[in-house]
Chains A and B, each alone.
Chain A
Amino acid sequence: MLLKNFNVLVLDDVILMCDFLYGVANKVPGCKAFKALDAKTASEILEHETIDLLITDIELRGPSGLDLLSRVRAGVFSATAHDIPIIVFSGNAYRELIQQCILFDVNDFLAKPVSAVQLSKKIQHHLQHEKLIQPATHYAEMKQRLEAPKEPNDEEGQHRFRVAIVRELEQKAEQEEQELDEQGNKVEKRDFLHWPDDATTGYFQLDRRLKNLAYNLSCFHNVFINNCKTVAIDAERKRACAAADYLIHIAKTMQQREQRPEFWSMLQQRLQKLQALMAELAEVNVKHHKQVLALLKKLAYWWMQTCNRPLINRTETEDESSLH
């Protein structure tokens, strides 16, 4: 169903292992592999090629795999998105390194040796499954904090654990989002904007950003409807605006190198409308309930119009040819 050719970067400082990983990644259907023997070369590739998935060893000579992946998450590479899936070979890495990788929302940890079949499955899995990644600024701040000289009482260590726990609770809360109807039966509580699991634009990068936008706008909707504090509403508004900006940015980058001109022209029109709506959202006074509600209605209408054929199709009912 997905049409995109994925660029996979493998980084390992042992030539034989690097060649093995490169060979496996290159054989995954739809994937083109790039290889690097050190973090410096990998950085150059990330800067100039749009990489869709990174596989890296954590222990490298020179700058570590952790240093590289933290820079990816902090969004320092202009051609590569900060929220790409990252697979780390952790082996016997020190516990602290692994904990730091978790903070940077690494998608998977593997131990060497891994077989070609296992690795191939992992690559395909992570190219098609979403992990919620925070905005790049979140990781940039974290990177800065981690790189700062340690305080003697290591309060920072306690913060690290707190961040991890908060994320887990968020995910659980998302899964358990059910409520009871009048008869006491469990009914699924729908988000303000919902991205169906089987929906796709044909490009997983766009899918995850659309899903992310839906999630963030739903969060904004929830805090607003529940009359939360202005500071909470503002925080959610910022996240929603950042999600929209990122979707627009990615679409613009992808459009330059993809086929399907009709699709991209139509998407561009939808995104221009979104940009205008999000500009309104960024400016609106959240104390003016009517204005915010009217804007949310417009956003819901935009979503309904956008999340439909021909832009978005269902994977279970459509075959690949219907996208062309």
Chain B
Amino acid sequence: MSPVCTEHPILDLTVLIEMYGDDSRETIHNALSGFMQSAPKYINTILDASANQQLAALASAAHSVKSIAALIGANQLAEMCRQLEESARMAEWQRLASILQTLPESWLRLQQQLGEQLQQLERSDG
């Protein structure tokens, strides 16, 4: 994995709380589940676009994920997408390939953490 990306935590809820200005369970739950619904579509677009060498589509999808990942505190994915967007715009194929290699694993780990976090929130609601 690119050293720049691993410096960042996978999920930092303090960021989410600061961004939303609200630490209620409802807000956190809505934001995380909203992300879980929105993000997969863009991640798939990134992977498809890279397979088809469509740089514009890749940059656009990375741009979208970057902003919502940063919003919920998914810092590692946000940083990864920032680098992806930048590399796609500058057509830096080598850098792109290196980041794309680590994207699926990073995304999987984030999904796991999000799942756990949502379960925890749902348990405490019950």
Please give the residue numbers on chain A whose beta carbons come within 8 Å of chain B beta carbons, in ascending order.
13-17, 19-20, 23, 59, 61, 89, 91-92, 112-113, 115-117, 120
State which of B20, B67, B86 has its C-beta within 8 Å of the C-beta of A112: B67
Q: Which of B41-59 contact A (CB under 8 A)?
A: 42
Contact B34 A19 (CB under 8 A): yes
Q: Which of B11-48 contact A (CB under 8 A)?
A: 18-22, 31, 34-35, 37-38, 42
B60 at the A interface (CB under 8 A): yes
Measured between beta carbons, the chain A residues less than 8 angstroms from B64 are 13-14, 17
Using an 8 Å CB-CB cutoff, how does the interface string of B46-83 with A read, 1 for contact, 0 for none? 00000000000000100110111011100000000010
Measured between beta carbons, the chain A residues less than 8 angstroms from B66 are 91, 112
Instruction: Given A91-B63, A91-B67, A92-B85, answer yes or no on A113-B19 (Cβ-Cβ < 8 Å).
Output: yes
A51 CB → nearest B CB, Å? 23
Please give the residue numbers on chain B whose beta carbons come within 8 Å of chain A beta carbons, in ascending order.
18-22, 31, 34-35, 37-38, 42, 60, 63-64, 66-68, 70-72, 82, 85-86, 89
Instruction: Name which residue of chain B comes closest to A112, CB basis.
Output: B67
Contact B19 A115 (CB under 8 A): yes
Measured between beta carbons, the chain A residues less than 8 angstroms from B21 are 115-117, 120
Instruction: Name which residue of chain B comes closest to A91, CB basis.
Output: B63
Instruction: Given A14-B38, A15-B38, A92-B86, answer yes or no on A20-B63 (Cβ-Cβ < 8 Å).
Output: no
State which of A17, A23, A115, A116 has its C-beta within 8 Å of the C-beta of B67: A17
Instruction: Name which residue of chain B comes closest to A14, CB basis.
Output: B64
Complex alpha-carbon distance, A115 and B34, angstroms: 17
Measured between beta carbons, the chain A residues less than 8 angstroms from B22 are 116
Measured between beta carbons, the chain A residues less than 8 angstroms from B19 are 20, 113, 115-116
Contact B71 A16 (CB under 8 A): yes
Contact B34 A116 (CB under 8 A): no
Contact A92 B63 (CB under 8 A): yes
Supply 11 A–B pairs (Cβ within 8 Å), ascending by A.
Answer: A14-B42, A16-B31, A17-B67, A19-B34, A20-B20, A20-B31, A61-B60, A91-B63, A92-B82, A112-B70, A115-B21
Measured between beta carbons, the chain B residues less than 8 angstroms from A13 are 64
Measured between beta carbons, the chain A residues less than 8 angstroms from B20 are 20, 23, 115-116
Which of B19, B42, B67, B71 has most chain A Cβ within 10 Å? B67
Question: Beyond the given A17-B71, A19-B34, A59-B63, could you list 10 further A-B residue pairs with CB under 8 A, ordered by the A residue number?
Answer: A16-B68, A16-B71, A20-B31, A23-B20, A91-B66, A112-B70, A112-B71, A113-B19, A115-B21, A116-B19
Contact B89 A92 (CB under 8 A): yes
Complex alpha-carbon distance, A89 and B68, angstroms: 13
Which of B19, B37, B72, B89 has most chain A Cβ within 10 Å? B19
Measured between beta carbons, the chain B residues less than 8 angstroms from A17 are 64, 67-68, 71
Complex alpha-carbon distance, A108 and B13, angstroms: 28
Which of B18, B21, B82 has most chain A Cβ within 10 Å? B21
Complex alpha-carbon distance, A13 and B60, angstroms: 11
A201 CB → nearest B CB, Å? 32
A159 CB → nearest B CB, Å? 27
Measured between beta carbons, the chain A residues less than 8 angstroms from B42 are 14
Instruction: Name which residue of chain A comes closest to B65, CB basis.
Output: A14
Contact B63 A16 (CB under 8 A): no
A29 CB → nearest B CB, Å? 14
B44 CB → nearest A CB, Å? 15
State which of B71, B85, B86, B89 has its C-beta within 8 Å of the C-beta of A20: B71
Instruction: Name which residue of chain B comes closest to A120, CB basis.
Output: B21
